[in-house]
Amino acid sequence: MPLALDPTTRLILVLGLGAGASTLATRALDPLVGVVGAEFGVAAATVALLGTAFALPYALVQPVLGPVGDAIGKARVIRACLMVLAAALVASALVPGFLSLALLRVLAGAAAGGVFPLSIAMVGDRVPMERRQVALSRLLVAGLTGSAGGGALSAALEPLIGWRGVMLLCAAVAIAGVAILRDSTGRSPTPAGRLNLTEALGRYRGILGLAAARALYVSVFIEGALLFGVFPFLAPFFAERGIGGVTEAGLAIAVFAIGGFAYAGLAPLLLGRLGQARMMVLGGLVSGAGLVALALAPAAWVGIGAFLLIGLGFYMIHTSIQTRVTEVAPQARGSAVALHAFSFFLGQSLGPVMMGLGRAVIGQVPSLLVAAAGLVGLALWLAPQGGRPRR
């Protein structure tokens, strides 16, 4: 007899497979830069740009796919995006040259951009507000599993099946997501609709006309810029302090993901004891303390361990913003979440530029301390702004 699941758990499991498939594809090539470069005779620095080729279209497609999801149904768009993602990954396994691979990474990134954000919006549609943040924390586990597992799996399996086999494995996971999502979302399919550009632009104007929405989008932009500007400079930071290099930077990023898993496990307790606003303040203090520990780290283990605090605190803030975004415009939830994802990834894109300038002008340690203060200040400013959207 099949195991009976409540509708929320069923929804999270189904959407989680798709979200995990999209994040698995995101990180799968990161450890294989040298392997891909050797096959195609391309410098490692050029192969590393495959990450940008995936991430930039992921961000840019958000303002388009959000209204499409609102118009014709989020589950329908997620399925279509997973199908395109799977096709792009299969084609990536067959490419004759590096340029073809880069173009397919652009297509894969755009397709992946329609999975996780719209999954968040679907949770907003189907889970009551009082249970929504816990549900989103569980969806986050699926995304983190794909993100953290993508690099680890590809590194472990590449000697056995090659990087092309890794691409096929990622495609198989995406296809499984399509098959399960088709019949398992727990409701009858959304009737087919049409995208009306005028209505879509009107929804965006309406959302951006809300003071609460503007505050959330500015906040997630700042959050992404302050925190993710740190990541590209981790290896130079460890090397400059004489406490490590590339290996230690990789471990720190893995520990950041563990901080996310820790948050997902603690979310019901934290929300129950503190409430959302106070948890956000705690998240700012915890992530800020992690950045201070990183800035002053006398040994590699301190810097690596600091990322447990940074990850835990970041997700306390970030999922709180996500939850508020799902309620800021209930009649245009897909569009609202798309603007959230767009703002977040735009902040991530600007972050390395800001941190690079900070390193050049005031140095790495002061720049990290400024980022720490910024996260604490952001949490203190944003925490009391919950409640109903203000017009």
pLDDT of residue 324: 86
Which is more confidently placed, 218 or 25?
A: 218
Superfamily of domain 203-385, CATH level 4? MFS general substrate transporter like domains (1.20.1250.20)
pTM here is 0.72
The fraction of the chain above a pLDDT of 70, given in percent, is 88
Name the band, by pLDDT with cuts 50, 70 and 90, for residue 390.
very low
pLDDT of residue 249: 73
CATH assignment of 9-183, given 3.40.50.2300, 3.40.50.720, 3.40.50.970, 1.20.1250.20? 1.20.1250.20
Report whether pLDDT(183) > 80: no
Q: How many residues does the chain have?
A: 391
Query: Measuring CA to CA, which residue among 282, 8, 17, 307 is closest to residue 133?
Result: 8
The per-residue pLDDT for range 309-351, each reduced to its tens digit, is 999 999 899 888 888 887 777 777 777 878 888 888 778 777 8
Q: What is the domain partition of the chain in residue ranges?
A: 9-183, 203-385
Q: What DSSP line would sit under 143-160, residue for residue?
A: HHHHHHHHHHHHHHHHHH
Instruction: Return mean pLDDT, the chain.
Output: 81
Lowest mean pLDDT across 104-113, 231-240, 318-327:
231-240
Place of tokens 């799996």: 153
Residue 269 burial class via C-beta count within 10 angstroms: exposed 0-12, middle 13-18, buried 19 and up: exposed
Q: Could you check whether 9-183 and 203-385 share the same CATH topology?
A: yes
- Helix ranges restricted to H, 296-332: 300-328
